[in-house]
Structure 1
Amino acid sequence: MLKLNYTDVGLYMERTMTNPELLMQERVLLAMRLGQTLHVEPGHASFLLPADIPELEVLETALHREYGSVVTLIAVDEEFVEVRLSGSWIAEDKDAHEGMFLTVMSDRTEFLIHKLWQMSEVHISSLA
């Protein structure tokens, strides 16, 4: 499972072997114990990757082989590609910009997406 945490300082992605239903259940229990509201809904999340990462072609090939993939790659311009994922959005309210997004796909695809995101973070950091 990929877990994308959207915060006020940006996106943090991690791969975890936790069952998504169990993770959601734990999050709901935590919110109830703290007296917080919680909004959970199916949805989409996206992030950008530099279009010049050579390993992007490996991901594209893997996605073509995977039936019913929850991932879509969209060319934004010459510099960036948008990776769009289907999954579940968990946040304090429906219109929140900060929250957690969970998606499940094949191990190989999760690994590739996570690896490319890590590479893009290093690439962007070196430009700053």
Structure 2
Amino acid sequence: MGQMGQAGFPQATPFPAQSGGAMPGVSLPGGAMPGAGAQVPGMLPIEASYIENILRLNKGKLATVYATFENNTEWNAKIFQGIIEAAGRDHLILSDPQTGKRVLLPMIYLDYVTFDEEIEYDYPFGGGAGLTAYPPR
């Protein structure tokens, strides 16, 4: 058992420093080590697997977006249907093809999205051309 620290709680033991961000004893298929920039065949790059990037890949497709608005006295949940115009880190823009009306929906309210066709999900592994890679949160 570790040494006792202040107020009788065990004192934290620091983890040993590691280089390259790899996890000891963990390797990926082909002998690759996980860490910054590691790619797993058939999976999205870690930096590009955010919902906004997946929605950007499907720009121009008809989507049904399910959203929940807590503490709303008029409606708690709402369904939006439209063409994906744009997607950012914190928002989604849909347009109704019949009326031209556009909806700016904050991502915080988004529950899930459905499509009536196949979803684009394969990124080029060369860094996700045209996609924004944000630092980890």
Q: Same fold (TM over 0.5)?
A: no
Which is richer in strand?
1
- Higher-Rg member (1/2): 2
